[in-house]
Each structure stands twice: as C-alpha cells, then as structure tokens.
Structure 1
Amino acid sequence: MTRVYTVRIHHPQKDICYTVQVAEDRYILMKAESQGADLPYSCRNGACTACAVRIQSGEIYQPEAMGLSPKLREQGYALLCVSYPRSDLEVVTQNEDEVYELQFGQHFGKGKVRRGLPLDEE
C-alpha cells in the first residue's frame, strides 16, 4: 500500500503556504502543482536550483538531485522536482541565486578561462 504524506511548503517570496498531499512514489513538485500550488521550477530534472527548498522537518528521498552536492543535502536542502516524501514534511522555498552560489560559487571568481595557454603562463 502506498503511503500519502502531508507536505507544507512555505513560499516566503509570495507570502503563501501550501499544504498538499503527496504519495511516497510521486514527485512533490508535480503533485503540489496538480493541487494548485504555484512554485518555482525550471529544468524539472534535478539539474538546476530553481525549485530548491530547505527542509524544516521531515524526510525526503531525492536520488536524482544532481543539482545539489551531498554537502548541501546534508545541510537540509532538497529539489522538489525530483524529491519524494518519506514522512510528513515542512519545507521553505529558497532564493535560487543563493542556492546556486552555495552549490557552484567555488567554481567561479577565479578569473576568465583562457584557451590555448597553460595555467602557469596566464
């Protein structure tokens, strides 16, 4: 028998909170949208950070969340587009730019990439 969980999604950017019912074998974003939630998203395949949330309580399973490092997952971040509930949940949507910076910021700001020159000649 498939379990169904209550998921509360706080969306401070729009000053709204959605409460939706999501089966353990369904993506949270897709089911929330089918129940009227208007949430941020972009790629829908776990590769970007547009649908990022911070878990306040509960448990999520997100094996396809390529856009989040293990470190960010350990810190309670999740991507709703590829997340399955594993308990009742409470999450908060995040600013995409902030999560993107946490995920990828260490790779930028080191100067422009120059083609054809060895690193020691730049």
Structure 2
Amino acid sequence: MTRVHTVEIHHRQTGKVYTVRVPEDRYILQSAENQGADLPFLCRNGACTACAVRVVSGELDQPEAMGLSPKLRDQGYALLCVSYPCSDLRVETQDEDEVYELQFGRYFGKGRVRFGLPLDDD
C-alpha cells in the first residue's frame, strides 16, 4: 500500500498556505492542484524553475528535476512538478527569477555584450 504524506506549502507570493495529502507515488504539484491549491508552474517536466520551492522540513525525491543543479538541490531547493514526498513536508515557494539567478547567474549578467563581444565602458 502506498504511504500518504501531509505537505504544507507556503505560497510566499500570495501569503496563502495550502495543506494537502500526497501519496508517495504522485507528484506534489499535481496532487496539490487536484486539492484546490493555486501554485506557480510552467513546463510541468522539471526543466524550468517556475514551481521551485525551498524545503523547510521533511524529505522529498525529485529524480527528474533537470532544471535544478545538484548544488541547489543540496541547498534544499526542489521543483514541485517532479517531486514525490518521502515524509511529511513543509515547503515555501520561491521567486523564479531568484532561483534562476542562483543557478545561472554566474553565466549571465557579466556586463553589456554586442555581437558576442564585451563592450568597453569608455
């Protein structure tokens, strides 16, 4: 029999808190939506950071989370669209731009670029 866990999701952008029950073999985002939660998402396949959360407590498994580096996963970030609960959880939504910057910021935003070449600031 599949175990079911309680997942508390704090949607920081709206201030709402959703408490849902999610089986270990179901994605958290889909289960939460089926229970009336209105949460951010885009791709639904773990390739973007729209549904990113930070785990406050508990454990989850996200084997298909291509949109998060191992470093961010180790820091407690997860993508709800491809996450399975392994215990009762408390998570909070993150700003997609902040997570994107944490993941890719070292590659982008290094000054103005024109046709692939940096511009002088003279």
TM-score, with structure 2 as normaliser: 0.91
Structure 2 alignment gaps of length 5 or more: 118-122
Q: Partners in 2 of 1:38 and 1:97 — Cα distance?
A: 19
Question: Post-superposition, which runs of at least 4 consecutive aligned residues in structure 1 deviate over 2 A?
Answer: 109-115
What's the secondary structure of 2:106's corresponding residue? Answer: helix
Q: Partners in 2 of 1:5 and 1:102 — Cα distance?
A: 29
The structure whose residues are more often helix, as a share, is: 1
Q: Partners in 2 of 1:113 and 1:57 — Cα distance?
A: 45
Q: Partners in 2 of 1:72 and 1:12 — Cα distance?
A: 19
Q: Partners in 1 of 2:102 and 2:88 — Cα distance?
A: 27
1:109 Cα offset (Å): 2.2
Q: Partners in 1 of 2:42 and 2:64 — Cα distance?
A: 15
What's the secondary structure of 2:63's corresponding residue? Answer: coil
Matched, 1:26 2:22: no
Matched, 1:44 2:22: no
Count the aligned residue pairs. 117
Structure 1 alignment gaps of length 5 or more: 118-122
Q: 2:77 aligns to what?
A: 77
Q: 1:112 aligns to what?
A: 113
The 1:112–1:76 alpha-carbon spacing in structure 2 relative to 1, beyond 3 Å, is: same
Q: 1:89 aligns to what?
A: 89
Residue type at the aligned position of 2:101: E
Q: Partners in 1 of 2:113 and 2:53 — Cα distance?
A: 31
Residue type at the aligned position of 2:15: D
Residue type at the aligned position of 1:77: Y
The 1:105–1:35 alpha-carbon spacing in structure 2 relative to 1, beyond 3 Å, is: same
What's the secondary structure of 2:64's corresponding residue? Answer: coil
